[in-house]
């Protein structure tokens, strides 16, 4: 390859000239002195030749590792796609943060390095506004989305009604609890309301079954804003209305949710260590039997609980509907991730084939079987083969109907940034609940709608 | 005449020797440098393209009223200055010990760079795990030694959280100072000490009057670089506490990161960086002068 | 009287070894815990009271660096590729930095030429702006020259922040060497560069070695640039290590295993170079 030779030549030139100059007998001649300068100036301008075009069409795909995918199940599907379609896939998988920090600058600077990208639910409003993604309606057949969970299609539609992404990871959160410890504390049913949750926690703590009811993940981080949404939804709270006007600082339910979070810390129901925990640390405490409830659990937590290298609570964890502020209210949070095609992709047809394959009914079912992936196709939740494998899906599908996404605003980044800071201040005792919500409204004032 | 020829050959050689470095250093970063400064004079919010435009010093004026930024600035200054002081004291002390003759000296000298050789992300993950409130090694160690009654939530308290993040930073960065000081100690001829001994100076006096004075240039370089790096620290605070509790560890690099990558305010993010740069520039000027003088005096 | 001196010397020795032990403990204790963690199951590390030597030992965390749970060795090629990238990038950067840095530092410490002071200031100003601020424009430029995700691209970027420091450090070491020695060599018929290579460099051996170690580690451990500017082909070890995480956060145990491996090469390198530091010492004593 020519590419690798040029810098080597330049480098050896520099070395040669330097050695020439470092003699110990002759005095330096002026012409030779000029040499190293010339030689080096070549270095930065020595641009490599572009690589020859590959024969097969290649698409570059980037999306995060699924937390339950320990066996490379996704990659196996990708290789299957290559075999079927003849399209080569350069696959980049990493954790969510890494993916986000690569995808966002690439999109923002109008690059075409990727053909299929991770499309997080939190980005939809912003990306729609910036026109970074390709509407998929032109590629899909009529009625293509029939049979998908409608909410998941809506969450990735732009305001003009076009669909821009299909979900590969239906990351809905569920209420899990330690049934064995709850029974030990004298309860045979999971809490139906948040009041019951508090009551059961206190009883279990008094009985010495657990030290704390919950070990929340309330570190000053993005996941804290997920928690804010989660608890607000369980209290029936709202953040913004359809016109983008603030509700979070006026809605009594949202206020009650924040107050609830503060109160659980003060009353000792929540482990104060939770103020320093992200989600993995909080799971650790639950999995070693240190807490009773895990209100906003990823579906994969059930599988972790069965693995004795990470869990002391094998066979003890169960799923129930999230307790709400009132008995008839149960809501949850969903953080789905989709695949989208950047507007500047050079291989849109192949990219669409990839998305179609990876989110198809068949692929969904296969991944569900292998790693417990939650399907996006409604029928799969009643598929006998799958329900035999995953009895908890009965609870899951009931919860799925009440799951809500994060606030869809173009300024979600700012919202999260300010919310996590003000909320953490409130949780650590620096301010009250209403004060925190007011401070958020003040910090976000430039986005408040004009009535 | 003779003098002039000599000067011009020095001049030619001087330029010939330094220009390659200049090209290598600025070849890639000059344009991004200018570009991001230009960006800092603009409003450029990726999510709101209709508001984009040149706003002069608007971002900078806004920064001066941005409480989060001012808090970050204070946090960063405290973090960096404390770290540097500890790193220098510890670094010089360790280097002096490792300069003595003892068995296995070569091995210990190699071992000492271990913390520094660790990728910063591993360092941060390691300390986060050590500081964990429910099962961390710090709690285990202190309670097994009987120093604390029960496990403590170290990172929820602003003061202990700050101290522990500084500790993690000092642990990782001190070897750099050790390395530099150790190398400088090799260059101090023994006869200087012998002369001082003959003068009847005690070990302590010799340290202050001879060793420290000779080490000053290298300590200044080390301290200055550590200060610069302190200002740019990112992973440590981001991974250990996310900048918490209640933004008590929100270093400037975290602000720049959030504003640029999450809020997508490219212009504003760039202005934080440039204002930070300007703030470090002031002590730097003094430093450059002092360093220049100390080298000339040597 | 003789006994008294012996006693004092012994006391000094005891103190010295005590200090060395404390230094070793301070340096190694957290790392030792990292190693123990990397051989443990997660649940065993969560116990209270903590067992410093867990009851069960596992190689899973290392195994997973090289083999996926499905048994394919896809991970091994990723890990080895990252290791190779880091090795090539860090050593190339170090060599280029030393070569260019030594020449510049020599000029700056010995020669009078216009702009030498401005030069030093320029070299420092490059360091003032946090890398995170220029990363996006840098990304665009590297993309234009098709240097994104290449080793050359990263080496060029690394030069921009490591080389200035090498120049600064080398200059301070050169400054400490009396210029009379050099003058003598030049009278014997050496060119300036001849004197640099024959007289000054051997004398500044320890400085040179510590600067080399510095440059190598700085390039070996750099995270932010490598993270944004590489995607697959040129991905370095710290970036790969950072990717050992799920949507929720870092996977500590795999990071521990990878971190143990990733920090070894620089340490081994430093151990090897120890000899040169000592040789530099004897060379210095000759003067």
What is the four-CA torsion angle of B228, B234, B235, B240, rounded to 10 degrees?
A: 110
- Fold of the domain spanning A58-171+335-404: D-Maltodextrin-Binding Protein; domain 2 (3.40.190)
Strands B53-54 and B42-43: antiparallel
Yes or no, beta carbons of B253 and C130 under 8 Å apart: yes
- What was the pLDDT predicted at A1? 41
Chain B residues touching A414 at Cβ < 8 A: 263
Between C192 and C229, the more confident residue is C229
Which is nearest to B121 in space by CA: A279, C259, C79? C259
Q: Report the run of H or E that residue C232 belongs to, with start and end.
A: none
| pLDDT tens readout for residues C138-159 | 988 888 888 988 999 999 999 9
Residue of higher predicted confidence among B191 and C18 = C18
**Residue written as tokens 């020449």?**
C103
Chain B residues within an 8 Å CB radius of A273 = 132-134, 153, 156
Contact C227 A171 (CB under 8 A): no
Task: Report the run of H or E that residue B226 belongs to, with start and end.
Answer: helix B212-232
pLDDT at residue number A242: 85
pLDDT number for residue C277: 57
Is the Cα dihedral B99, B86, C220, C267 positive or negative? Answer: positive
Average pLDDT of span B201-225: 81
A174-330+411-447: CATH topology = D-Maltodextrin-Binding Protein; domain 2 (3.40.190)
Please list every residue in chain B whose beta carbon sits closer than 8 Å to the beta carbon of residue C175. 217, 295, 298
Angle, vertex CA B56, rays to CA B55 and CA B58, nearest 5: 65
- Tell me the C-alpha distance between A392 and C220, whole Å: 47
**Class of residue A127 by CB neighbours under 10 A (exposed 0-12, middle 13-18, buried 19+):** buried
pLDDT digits (tens, 9 = 90+) for B151-185: 999 999 999 999 999 999 999 999 999 988 888 88
Contact assessment for residue A331 and residue A234, using Cβ atoms and an 8 Å cutoff: yes
Query: What pTM was computed for the model?
Result: 0.89
Question: What pLDDT is attached to residue A26?
Answer: 42
The interface predicted TM-score (ipTM) is 0.89
Q: How far is B216 from chain A (nearest CA, A)?
A: 32
Chain B interface disruption, residue of C33, C134, C237, most B CBs within 10 A: C134
Count of CB atoms within 10 A of residue A318's CB?
17
Which helix or strand (DSSP H or E) is residue A58 part of?
strand A58-64
- A14–C252 CB contact, under 8 Å: no
Q: How far is A105 from chain B (nearest CA, A)?
A: 8
Bridge-partner residues for A178, per DSSP? A317
Judged against a pLDDT cut of 80, whether residue C75 lies above it is answered with no
Residues of B in contact with A275 (CB under 8 A): 153, 155-156, 244-245
| pLDDT number for residue B291 | 65
At residue B3, does pLDDT exceed 80?
Answer: no
In sequence order, what are the residues at sequence separation of 6 or more whose Cβ sits closer than 8 angstroms to the Cβ of residue A47? C145, C146, C147
Residue A9, C-beta contacts closer than 8 angstroms, at least 6 positions apart: none
Per-residue pLDDT at C74? 62
| Residue B159 touches chain A, beta carbons under 8 Å | no
Q: Say whether A62 sits in a helix, a strand or coil.
A: strand
Q: Which stretch of DSSP H or E encloses residue A318?
A: strand A317-320
C-beta separation of C26 from B115 below 8 A: no
**Is the pLDDT reported for residue B2 higher than 60?**
no
Enumerate the domain spans of chain C.
Answer: 1-58, 74-286
Domain positions in chain B are: 62-297
Identify the architecture of domain C74-286 in CATH: Orthogonal Bundle (1.10)
For chain C positions 53-82, those within 8 Å of chain B (CB to CB) are none
Q: Which residue has the higher pLDDT, A11 or C51?
A: C51
**Considering only residues 153 to 192 of chain B, which have any Cβ-Cβ distance to chain C shorter than 8 Å?**
171, 175-176, 179-180, 182-184, 186-187, 189-190
Beta strand A332-333 with B42-43: parallel, antiparallel or unpaired? unpaired
Residues of chain A found within 8 Å of residue B246, distances taken between Cβ atoms:
220, 421, 424-425, 428, 430
pLDDT of A331 reads: 94
Provide the percentage of residues in chain C whose pLDDT is more than 90.
31
Q: How far apart are CA A374 and CA A369, in angstroms?
A: 10
- Test B125 with C207 for CB contact under 8 angstroms: no
B63 touching chain C per CB within 8 A: no
- Check pLDDT > 90 for residue B15: no
Query: What tokens appear for A381 in the block?
Result: 């939740």
- Structural contact between residues B281 and C121, judged by C-beta atoms closer than 8 angstroms: no
On chain B, the residues whose CB falls within 8 A of the CB of A130 are: 46-47, 49
Q: Give A55 or B246, the one with higher predicted confidence.
A: B246
Domain boundaries, chain A: 2-45, 58-171+335-404, 174-330+411-447
Strand-strand pairing, A403-404 and A332-333: parallel
pLDDT of residue C70: 53
Q: Out of B16, B245, B247, whose CB is closest to A36? A: B16
Q: Write out chain C residues lying below 8 Å of B184, CB-based.
A: 173, 176, 207
Indicate yes or no: CB of C137 within 8 angstroms of CB of B35: yes
Q: How would residue C279 be classed by pLDDT, with cut points 50, 70 and 90?
A: very low
- Give pLDDT, residue B4: 44
Distance CA B187, CA A49 (A): 48
Using a CB–CB cutoff of 8 Å, tell me whether A12 touches chain C. Answer: no
Return the bridge partners of B54, or none.
B42
Q: Does A421 contact chain B (CB < 8 Å)?
A: yes
Q: What's domain B62-297's superfamily in CATH?
A: MetI-like (1.10.3720.10)
Peptide bond before B245: cis, by omega within 30 degrees of 0? Answer: yes
Residue C280 scores a pLDDT above 50: no
Q: Tell me which chain A residues have a C-beta less than 8 angstroms from the C-beta of C193.
A: 18, 21-22, 28
Determine whether the interchain pair C27/B112 forms a contact, defined as Cβ–Cβ distance below 8 Å. yes
Task: Average the pLDDT over each of A238-242, B183-187, C66-70, C245-249 and give the range with the smallest value.
Answer: C66-70
How much is the pLDDT for A101? 81
Burial C224-233 (b: 16+ CB within 10 A, else e): bbbbbbbbee
Predicted local confidence at residue A43, as pLDDT:
40
Identify the H or E element spanning B19: helix B2-40
3-state secondary structure of A175: strand
Non-local CB neighbours of A423 within 8 Å, separated by 6+ positions: A224, A225, A228, A258, A261, A436, A440
Q: Are A337 and A120 in contact (CB under 8 A)?
A: yes
Paired tokens of A2: 């020519």
Among C128, C238, C285, the residue with its CB nearest the CB of B119 is C238
Residues of chain A with pLDDT under 50: 1-3, 26-54
Which B residues, 235 through 254, put their C-beta within 8 Å of a C-beta on chain A?
Answer: 241-247, 250
From A160, A207, A182, select the one nearest A320 (Cα to Cα).
Answer: A182
Beta strands in A179-226 (DSSP E): 212-214
Are B110 and C270 in contact (CB < 8 Å)?
A: yes
Task: In whole angstroms, give the CA distance from residue B133 to residue A52.
Answer: 55
> Is residue B102 pLDDT above 60, yes or no?
yes
B239 has a pLDDT exceeding 80: yes
Reduced to 3 states (helix: H, G, I; strand: E, B; else coil), residue B97 is: helix
**Chains A, C: CB contacts under 8 A, how many?**
148
Residue of C nearest to A10 (CA): C96
Cβ atoms within 10 Å of C105's Cβ, excluding its own: 28
CA-wise closest residue to B94 among B209, B2, B196, B181: B181
Summarised one tens digit per residue, pLDDT across range C192-202 is 777 777 777 77
């Amino acid at each position: 390859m020519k590419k690798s030779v040029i810098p080597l030549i330049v480098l050896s030139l520099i070395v040669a000239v330097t050695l020439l100059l470092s003699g110990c007998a002759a005095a330096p001649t002026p012409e030779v002195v000029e040499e190293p300068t010339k030689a080096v100036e070549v270095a930065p301008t020595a641009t490599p030749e572009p690589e020859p075009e590959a024969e097969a069409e290649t698409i570059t795909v980037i999306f995060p590792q699924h937390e339950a995918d320990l066996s490379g199940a996704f990659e196996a599907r990708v290789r299957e796609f290559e075999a079927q379609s003849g399209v080569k896939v350069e696959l980049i998988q990493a954790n969510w943060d890494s993916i986000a920090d690569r995808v966002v600058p690439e999109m923002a600077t109008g690059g075409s390095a990727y053909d299929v990208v991770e499309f997080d639910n939190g980005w939809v409003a912003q990306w729609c506004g910036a026109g970074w993604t390709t509407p998929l309606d032109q590629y899909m057949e009529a009625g293509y989305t029939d049979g998908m969970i409608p909410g998941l299609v809506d969450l990735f539609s732009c305001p003009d009604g076009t669909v821009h992404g299909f979900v590969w990871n239906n990351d809905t959160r569920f209420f899990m609890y330690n049934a064995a410890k709850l029974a030990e504390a004298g309860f045979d049913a999971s809490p139906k309301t948040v009041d019951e949750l508090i009551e059961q926690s206190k009883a279990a703590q008094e009985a010495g079954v657990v030290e704390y009811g919950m070990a929340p993940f309330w570190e000053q981080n993005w996941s804290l804003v997920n928690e804010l949404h989660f608890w607000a939804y369980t209290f029936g709270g709202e953040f913004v209305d359809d016109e983008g006007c603030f509700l979070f600082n006026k809605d009594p339910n949202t206020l009650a949710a924040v107050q609830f979070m503060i109160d659980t810390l003060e009353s000792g129901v929540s482990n104060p260590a939770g103020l320093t925990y992200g989600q993995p640390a909080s799971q650790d405490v639950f999995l070693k039997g240190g807490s009773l409830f895990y209100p906003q659990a990823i579906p994969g937590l059930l599988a972790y609980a069965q693995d004795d290298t990470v869990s002391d609570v094998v066979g003890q964890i169960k799923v129930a509907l999230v307790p709400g502020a009132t008995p008839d209210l149960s809501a949850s949070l969903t953080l789905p991730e989709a695949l989208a095609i950047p507007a500047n992709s050079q291989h849109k047809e192949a990219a669409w084939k990839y998305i179609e394959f990876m989110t198809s009914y068949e692929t969904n079912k296969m991944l569900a079987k292998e790693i417990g992936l939650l399907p996006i196709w409604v029928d799969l939740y009643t598929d006998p083969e799958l329900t035999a494998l995953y009895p908890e899906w009965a609870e899951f599908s009931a919860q799925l109907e009440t799951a809500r996404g994060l606030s869809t605003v173009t300024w979600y980044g700012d919202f999260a940034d300010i919310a996590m800071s003000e909320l953490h201040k409130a949780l650590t005792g620096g301010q009250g609940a209403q004060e925190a919500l007011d401070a958020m409204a003040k910090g976000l004032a430039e986005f408040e709608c004009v009535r | 005449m003779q003098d002039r020829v000599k000067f011009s050959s020095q001049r030619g050689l001087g330029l010939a020797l330094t220009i390659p470095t200049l090209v290598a250093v600025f070849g890639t970063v000059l344009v991004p440098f200018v570009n991001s400064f230009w960006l800092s004079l603009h409003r450029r919010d990726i999510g709101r393209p209709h508001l984009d435009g040149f706003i002069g010093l608007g971002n900078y004026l806004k920064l001066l009223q941005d409480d989060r930024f001012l808090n970050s600035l204070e946090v960063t200054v405290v973090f960096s200055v404390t770290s540097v002081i500890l790193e220098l004291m510890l670094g010089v002390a360790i280097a002096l010990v490792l300069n003595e003759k003892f068995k296995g000296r070569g091995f210990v000298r190699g071992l000492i760079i271990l913390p520094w050789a660790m990728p910063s992300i591993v360092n941060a993950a390691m300390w986060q795990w050590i500081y964990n409130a429910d099962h961390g090694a710090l709690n285990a160690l202190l309670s097994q030694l009987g120093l604390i009654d029960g496990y403590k939530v170290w990172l929820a308290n602003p003061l202990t959280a700050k101290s522990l993040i500084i500790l993690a930073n000092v642990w990782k960065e001190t070897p750099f100072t050790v390395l530099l000081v150790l190398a400088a100690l090799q260059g101090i001829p023994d006869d200087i000490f012998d002369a001082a001994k003959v003068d009847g100076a005690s070990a302590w006096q010799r340290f202050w009057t001879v060793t420290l004075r000779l080490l000053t240039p290298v300590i200044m370089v080390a301290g200055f670089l550590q200060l610069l790096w302190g200002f740019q620290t990112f992973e440590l605070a981001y991974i250990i506490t996310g900048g918490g509790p209640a933004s008590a560890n929100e270093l400037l690099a975290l602000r720049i990161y959030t504003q640029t990558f999450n809020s997508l305010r490219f212009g504003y993010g760039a202005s934080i960086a440039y204002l930070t740069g300007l703030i470090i520039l002031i002590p730097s000027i003094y430093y450059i002068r002092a360093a220049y003088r100390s080298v000339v005096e040597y | 009287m003789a006994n008294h001196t012996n006693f004092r010397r012994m006391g000094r020795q005891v103190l010295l070894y005590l200090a060395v032990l404390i230094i070793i403990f301070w340096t190694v204790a957290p790392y030792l815990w990292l190693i123990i963690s990397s051989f443990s199951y997660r649940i065993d590390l969560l116990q209270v009271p903590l067992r410093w030597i867990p009851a069960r030992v596992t190689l899973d965390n290392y195994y997973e660096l090289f083999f996926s749970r499905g048994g394919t060795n896809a991970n091994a090629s990723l890990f080895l590729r990252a290791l190779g990238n880091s090795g090539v990038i860090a050593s190339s950067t170090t060599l280029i930095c030393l070569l260019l840095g030594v020449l510049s530092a020599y000029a700056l410490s010995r020669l009078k030429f216009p702009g030498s002071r401005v030069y030093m200031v320029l070299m420092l100003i490059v360091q003032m702006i946090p890398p995170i601020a220029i990363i996006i424009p840098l990304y665009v430029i590297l993309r234009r020259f098709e240097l994104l995700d290449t080793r050359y691209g990263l080496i060029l970027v690394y030069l921009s922040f490591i080389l200035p420091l090498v120049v600064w450090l080398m200059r301070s070491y050169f400054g400490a060497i009396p210029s009379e020695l050099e003058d003598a060599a030049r009278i014997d018929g050496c060119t300036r560069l001849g004197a640099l290579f024959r007289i000054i460099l051997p004398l500044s051996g320890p400085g040179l070695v510590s600067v080399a170690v510095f440059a190598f580690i700085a390039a070996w451990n750099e995270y932010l640039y490598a993270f944004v500017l590489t995607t697959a082909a040129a991905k370095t070890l710290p970036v790969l290590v950072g990717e050992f995480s799920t949507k929720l956060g870092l996977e500590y145990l795999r990071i521990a295993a990878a971190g143990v491996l990733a920090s070894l090469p620089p340490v081994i390198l430093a151990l090897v170079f120890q000899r040169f530091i000592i040789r530099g010492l004897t060379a210095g004593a000759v003067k």
